[in-house]
Chains A and B, each alone.
Chain A
């Protein structure tokens, strides 16, 4: 680790005042410290936000839920309101990392996880995300785990979170505060595609702190499913994951949300396509057609052609499972 100073503000205002390009907020630290030890992250200052009053999970006036940024992943997954209203979120969280890491990792921090791209992590190699302009060996090298959707010539990394995939499907909002005030970011706009600035994972400004995640009122508690495909049964990042959420009108689809993990620089959704299936019969055929349409945009790399078929099959499977009800 590169030397750094440490501050522990006691108020949100204080924390935001301390923020800046050389500083990083730290909550659980499970990804940031990992990156600091790898010399990938070299903050001059760590701002420990654990004293801030961001640990509540409370109902919102519109029937939704506000989740403080410091709520741990484990607390969130095992919260009764979450288990009842948003089983998809609980299921996704529990599919990620390990019990120990879930005890440590925070809700806000989960959004800020950086890619697990092998090149990003190894400072002996080029990487446009870590060292802009240095190149991307993944394009011609090991790209089995990389993006099939939304990648750029400069970067083919994927976002590693499970929780975020569920949050995307649930259309969460991210409440952030910077020195110029508070704003609410739609989940789809929080993470970004790499484009020509792959060093930026999201749209958060340097001085902005995530305060909370807000979930809209539950709509998918009855019919949702999180499916994660990985290289071993547990404690591995997704090759592909699917958060599937349905509202049904009898045997017809009233609402279908599908978010994909492991395929792009951000949790991947196609809301326009989702609208097209409204009113269609809730059948495997519909789901297959939807999956094929969604993946028409896929541009796989030599090492991850399989992800297209995998994503397709996983979408269909997850939707069928969701339709069976109650997070099986």
Chain B
């Protein structure tokens, strides 16, 4: 990378992603999304629009759900991130992931990591208690396959299991 980014000085960044520490030298214009996908090969965080209009890139930044596409990587110095790759514990799927499979809460699967990370964020916010609140709280994540009913059902089922916590690593 070093020979191709002379347009701006590279900046040193420390990040913890899914429990793993990274020391990186990054150009300022790199988004968190492109860092995850192109440099860390964590491609589960998807690029559906790159403009904060679809939610496919949702990750947990210091426990809160954000759009990675509208986050500069250099602005995440010192942060702790959870991506979809860090949601399952070892080989055991998170209850939310299991609920997504059981309820067939996806079809093509492209938006699914964002949906799951978003639902983890929703759980830790503790604001959604009814089905309509889940629907509203999950409306930052588009699903073109139209799996919304099943997504709502999966989240509704898994919410109590998450005890108001995201249920993933801090």
Contacts and interface: CB of A to CB of B under 8 A. Distances in A.
Q: Do chains A and B touch in the complex (CB under 8 A)?
A: yes
Interface of A: 1, 3-6, 26, 28-30, 33-34, 37-38, 46, 48, 50, 74, 78, 97-101, 103-104, 233-235
A98 B139 contact: yes
B152 to A, nearest CB: 13
Contact of A34 (B52, B55, B74, B121): B52
Interface in B24-64: 28-29, 31, 50-52, 55, 58, 64
Given A99-B122, A100-B121, A30 B29 contact: no
B120 to A, nearest CB: 12
A100 B65 contact: yes
Contact of A100 (B7, B67, B75): B67
A37 B65 contact: no
A231 to B, nearest CB: 13
A29 B71 contact: yes
B52 A30 contact: yes
B104 interface: no
B23 interface: no
Contacts of B122: 99
B67 A6 contact: no
A29 B75 contact: yes
B66 A103 contact: yes
Given A100-B67, A233-B139, A29 B72 contact: yes
B127 A37 contact: no
A46 B73 CA distance: 13
B9 interface: yes
Contact of A3 (B7, B51, B64, B67): B7
Contacts of A100: 52, 55, 58, 65-67, 118, 121, 140
Task: Count chain B CB atoms within 10 A of each CB in A26, A37, A78 and give the residue with the most.
Answer: A37
Interface in B96-117: none
Given A4-B29, A97-B140, A103-B65, 8 more contacts: A29-B71, A33-B72, A74-B64, A74-B125, A100-B65, A101-B52, A235-B140, A235-B142
Contacts of A5: 8-9, 28
A6 B73 CA distance: 12
Contacts of A6: 8, 11, 28, 72, 74
B28 A99 contact: no
A33 B9 CA distance: 19
B50 A37 contact: yes
A3 B10 CA distance: 12
7 contacts: A6-B72, A6-B74, A30-B70, A33-B70, A97-B140, A98-B55, A234-B139
A48 B58 CA distance: 22
Given A30-B67, A33-B31, A99 B118 contact: yes
Nearest to B51: A34
B26 to A, nearest CB: 10
B136 interface: yes
A99 B72 contact: no
Nearest 8 CB-CB pairings of A with B? A98-B140, A234-B139, A3-B7, A6-B28, A1-B29, A103-B64, A100-B140, A100-B67
Contact of A46 (B7, B28, B55, B121): B28
B95 interface: no
A242 B65 CA distance: 28
A3 B5 CA distance: 10
B37 to A, nearest CB: 15
Contacts of B140: 97-101, 235
B137 interface: yes
B121 A78 contact: no
A30 B69 CA distance: 9
Task: Count chain B CB atoms within 10 A of each CB in A6, A38, A99, A103 and give the residue with the most.
Answer: A99
Contacts of B74: 6, 48
B51 A37 contact: yes
B8 A48 contact: no
B70 A29 contact: yes
A6 to B, nearest CB: 4
B137 A99 contact: yes
Contacts of A30: 52, 67, 70
Interface string B1-14: 00000011101000
Contacts of B125: 74, 99
Contacts of B66: 100, 103-104
A104 to B, nearest CB: 5
B75 A99 contact: no
